[in-house]
Amino acid sequence: MREVNNKMLRRLYWKRREIALAIKRFDRSQQLIVLFLTLLSVFMLLPIVYILNHAFKPLHELFQFPPTFIVRNPTFQNFIELLSLTQNTFVPASRYLLNSIIVTFLATAGMVTTGALCAYALSKHKFPGAKIVFGSIIASLLFAPETIAIPRYVIVQGLGIMNSYFGHVLPMIAMPVGVFLIKQFIDQLPNEMIEAAKIDGSTEFGIFIRIVVPMVTPAIATITILAFQNAWGNAETSTLFMQDDSMKTLPFYMATLTSNLANSVARQGAAAAGALIMFLPSLIIFLLSQRKVITTMAHSGIK
Amino acid sequence: MSNKVQIRSRQYADSSVRTGNNVTHKLMGLAAEIWKYRLSYLFIAPFYAMFLLFILVPIVAGVLLGFTYFNAIQFPTWVGWMNYQNLFSQDIIFLQHVVPNSFKFALFVGPLGYVCAFFLAWLIAQLPNVLRTGYALAIYAPSLTAGIAMTVVWQVMFTGDRTGYLNSFLLKWGLIEKPMLFVQNKDYLMDVMIVVSIWASMGIGFLAILAGILNVDKTMYEAGRIDGISSRLQEIWYITVPLMKPQMMFAAIMSIVYTLKSGAIGTQLSGSNPTPNYAGQLMINHIDDYGFIRYELGYASAISVVLLLVCYLLSRVFGYLFSPKEGE
């Protein structure tokens, strides 16, 4: 118990004293909760600790018996292998990585911008048809792109955006959850504030940039995370809409690496390194904005 | 507010002036109204164009394709309700494996995952502020793992011989006598799928629930105690849940979406579609099987339509449960 607590204290070292004081004040039920949650957290984090360690294991440790959890002699060998693996084919792994970065950036930026614009108009402008538009967005909240992959394929082909970044980005921009979340936040802003800005001579766009966006940053941070995760881990657009290998993204490459992994010895290390590369950006983005997401969501809430 | 009233009164004035209140006048009025709000349409245009192109039109097209025979090469031919008749009367794999599997998987990952998320969020909310973030992060972190990347972990974790982590661990502690084939055996695949899916399910919905619980006004609990609420369970049922319906609704929607999306986990774990003995075959895999392996796109669309309908009905049920009633 003390050991686990210590570990946690180290992680939150800047709050060390505060936590120590808090633990001293605990009653019995809170102690039980802490014990339970600590054990559970360790269990939840096991695979993630594993992936961090696995990526740095040299080859003989990857296949050691009995298997070891923690890496003994960390090395960058796996990352080098990952990068050199495809150098005998046409497309190097760095190309997939570059594609992934470009696509994720464009898709996230596009989703957040278009989503926020749409949400503002839906929330504060009572234009004819607003109800129908919002209704259709609500109804498709549950939509899973996998179910209608076939017509999507036909449309992407018809638009002539196969094998281009548009083919990756445009389908990902259509994310109803984003508009829904931001709209729920903008609904809470008092109309009087927007009216006042209008009287002061602000344009609609000025109101949006200077008043609405700063007020709904928690929702925008949340949506950024969602859109980022969605785009970064998305293999669907590569599989369906890209025939040209040099236009595919990292998740697709990972899928080719990991297929039949259980039966093969080769590429284990490269796959582990790739998995770490896939996981880290999501974690970093979340760590950077988690304060905003967790604490501000708690104070303003989704209503 | 005053602006809206002005618009209304102007409309009424207009309609009373035009005594010959015919269709053209109405249409012109609507056109003028639309023109007045042209900026609003400009605001929604970028998103809604993408939405129409990549979601709404595909859904409509998918519904139409469901009534055809389409093999991706020839032009689709109309077959009426045939696909649906076949699906519910002749597709033995669908009826014997896919439906029960989907039901079991959805029941565990959906409602059970949802209850777990609520319970964990509630536990975390009982702790002081400084500790919350750490635990919330630990429980949220698995949902950050992209599906494909994690295959690496799961395949090594559940390897069928003694080099697999789980097998090695169980052997060492004497819990089993010989290694078990976790993902190749039809008896275990489903259980492994459920555990893995729940592990990674505490995503943004979990955060919303946590935020909702923390958002409940503390004085409400005191008021409740005066009114005779005696246990923590009663507190949750009568105070916490009713006060956070919007967050519960949002989490429910995210939970359905997640359950749908995680359907591919079976093929990822076992490395084949169809999964061994169809043990982990879910609706999504069945659609993939017919759509992109057998190229019976019309039939695959019909299955998609059934799946969409089920999801829509579920969302209506949740909407009914958690929609704010009048006066709340």
β-partners of residue B77 are B69
Q: For B44, name the nearest residue in chain A, comparing CA atoms only.
A: A118
The percent of residues in chain B predicted with pLDDT above 70, rounded, is 89
> Is it the case that residue B18 has pLDDT exceeding 60?
no
A282 touches chain B (CB under 8 A): yes
Q: DSSP for A188-257, please give it.
A: TS-HHHHHHHHHTT--HHHHIIIIIHHHTHHHHHHHHHHHHHHHHT--HHHHHH--SGGG--HHHHHHHH
Q: How many CB atoms lie within 10 A of CB B10?
A: 10
Residues in chain B within 8 Å Cβ distance of A49: none
Ordered by start, the domain boundaries in chain B are: 83-322
Distance between CA atoms of residues B304 and B59, nearest Å: 9
- Low-confidence stretches of chain A (pLDDT < 50) are 1, 300-303
pLDDT of residue B163: 67
The top-level CATH class assigned to A84-300 is mainly alpha
Predicted TM-score of the model (pTM) = 0.79
The nearest CA of chain A is from the CA of B301 a distance in Å of 7
The nearest CA of chain B is from the CA of A145 a distance in Å of 8
Distance between CA atoms of residues B269 and B275, nearest Å: 9
Model confidence at B137, pLDDT cuts 50, 70, 90, reads confident
Residue A55 has φ and ψ, to the nearest 5°, of -65, -25
Distance between CA atoms of residues A144 and B258, nearest Å: 9
pLDDT of residue A211: 86
Angle between helices A250-258 and A93-124 (to 10 degrees): 130
pLDDT of residue A85: 67
A174 touches chain B (CB under 8 A): yes
Distance between CA atoms of residues B34 and B12, nearest Å: 17
Q: For B116, name the nearest residue in chain A, comparing CA atoms only.
A: A40
Put simply, the answer to whether B153 touches A255 (Cβ < 8 Å) is no
Section B280-288 average pLDDT: 83
- Triad B53, B55, B61: Cα angle to 5°: 80
Distance between CA atoms of residues A122 and A131, nearest Å: 8
Q: For A279, name the nearest residue in chain B, comparing CA atoms only.
A: B145
Put simply, the answer to whether B152 touches A275 (Cβ < 8 Å) is yes
> In which residue are the tokens 């090594």 written?
B156
Interface confidence (ipTM) of the complex: 0.78
Longest dimension (CA), chain B: 91
Residues in chain A within 8 Å Cβ distance of B272: none
pLDDT of residue A16: 62
Identity of the residue in B1, B50, B311 whose CB atom sits nearest the CB atom of A191: B1
Put simply, the answer to whether A282 touches B145 (Cβ < 8 Å) is yes
Identity of the residue in B56, B131, B291 whose CB atom sits nearest the CB atom of A150: B291
Which alpha helices (DSSP H) does A129-188 contain, by range? 130-139, 149-159, 165-173, 176-186
A24 touches chain B (CB under 8 A): no
A137 touches chain B (CB under 8 A): yes
A210 touches chain B (CB under 8 A): no
What is the CATH code of the structural domain delimited by B83-322?
Answer: 1.10.3720.10
Put simply, the answer to whether B204 touches A259 (Cβ < 8 Å) is no
The nearest CA of chain A is from the CA of B275 a distance in Å of 13
Token pair for residue A286? 């979340």
Residues in chain B within 8 Å Cβ distance of A254: 148-149, 151
Identity of the residue in B41, B146, B250 whose CB atom sits nearest the CB atom of A302: B250
Tell me which DSSP letter residue A73 carries: S
pLDDT of residue A103: 94
Distance between CA atoms of residues B93 and B277, nearest Å: 10
pLDDT of residue B1: 44
Q: DSSP for B249-304, please give it.
A: HHHHHHHHHHHHHGGGHHHHHHSSSSPGGGTT--HHHHHHIIIIIS--HHHHHHHH
pLDDT of residue B146: 59
The nearest CA of chain B is from the CA of A89 a distance in Å of 22
Mutate to test the interface with A, among B75, B148, B198, B301 (most CBs of A within 10 A): B148
Distance between CA atoms of residues A52 and A144, nearest Å: 31
Tell me which DSSP letter residue A64 carries: -
Residue A25 has φ and ψ, to the nearest 5°, of -85, -5
Put simply, the answer to whether A258 touches B34 (Cβ < 8 Å) is no
Section B7-23 average pLDDT: 54
pLDDT of residue A108: 94
Show which of residues 211-240 on chain A sit within 8 Å of chain B, judged by CB atoms: 222, 225-226, 229, 232-233, 235
CB-based contact B175:B199 (threshold 8 Å): no
β-partners of residue A178 are none
Q: DSSP for B36-90, please give it.
A: HTHHHHHHHHHHHHHHIIIIIHHHHHHHHHTTEE--SSSPPEE-TTHHHHHHHHT
Distance between CA atoms of residues A79 and A57, nearest Å: 10
CB-based contact A273:A79 (threshold 8 Å): yes
Identity of the residue in A33, A65, A272 whose CB atom sits nearest the CB atom of B152: A272
Q: For A169, name the nearest residue in chain B, comparing CA atoms only.
A: B50
Identity of the residue in A22, A140, A174 whose CB atom sits nearest the CB atom of B50: A174
Identity of the residue in B30, B247, B260 whose CB atom sits nearest the CB atom of A302: B247
Put simply, the answer to whether B46 touches A113 (Cβ < 8 Å) is yes
The nearest CA of chain B is from the CA of A88 a distance in Å of 23
> Is it the case that residue B87 has pLDDT exceeding 70?
yes
Model confidence at B162, pLDDT cuts 50, 70, 90, reads low
Long-range contacts of A159-165 (CB under 8 A, 24+ apart): A159/B53, A161/A241, A162/A241, A162/A242, A162/A243, A163/A241, A163/A242, A163/A243, A163/A244, A163/A247, A164/A247, A165/A102, A165/A103, A165/A106, A165/A247
Ordered by start, the domain boundaries in chain A are: 2-54, 84-300
User: Which of A256-270, B238-252, B313-327 is most confident?
Assistant: B238-252
Put simply, the answer to whether A150 touches B65 (Cβ < 8 Å) is yes
pLDDT of residue B255: 83
pLDDT of residue A116: 93
Higher pLDDT, B168 or B306: B306
Distance between CA atoms of residues B242 and B216, nearest Å: 10
Identity of the residue in B44, B257, B300 whose CB atom sits nearest the CB atom of A142: B257
A103: nearest Cα among A278, A223, A285, A248: A248
Residues in chain B within 8 Å Cβ distance of A176: 51, 55
pLDDT of residue A109: 94
Section B198-218 average pLDDT: 82
Put simply, the answer to whether B138 touches A113 (Cβ < 8 Å) is no
Distance between CA atoms of residues A106 and A69, nearest Å: 37
A221: nearest Cα among A300, A141, A137, A286: A286
Residues in chain A within 8 Å Cβ distance of B37: 125, 127-128
Burial group, residue B81, by CB count within 10 angstroms (0-12, 13-18, 19+): exposed
Token pair for residue A86? 């495809």
First-to-last CA distance in chain B?
22
Q: Cβ neighbours of residue B288 under 8 Å, at least 6 residues apart?
A: A146, B264, B267, B273
Put simply, the answer to whether A155 touches B54 (Cβ < 8 Å) is yes
Identity of the residue in A67, A152, A170 whose CB atom sits nearest the CB atom of B165: A67
Mutate to test the interface with A, among B40, B67, B182, B201 (most CBs of A within 10 A): B40
Put simply, the answer to whether B146 touches A151 (Cβ < 8 Å) is no
β-partners of residue B68 are B78
The nearest CA of chain B is from the CA of A1 a distance in Å of 15
Distance between CA atoms of residues A293 and B206, nearest Å: 12
Q: State how far Cα A116 lies from the chain centre.
A: 18
Q: Cβ neighbours of residue A240 under 8 Å, at least 6 residues apart?
A: A149, A152, A153, A156
A78: nearest Cα among A275, A267, A274, A269: A269
pLDDT in tens, B51-64: 998 888 888 888 88
Put simply, the answer to whether A225 touches B204 (Cβ < 8 Å) is yes
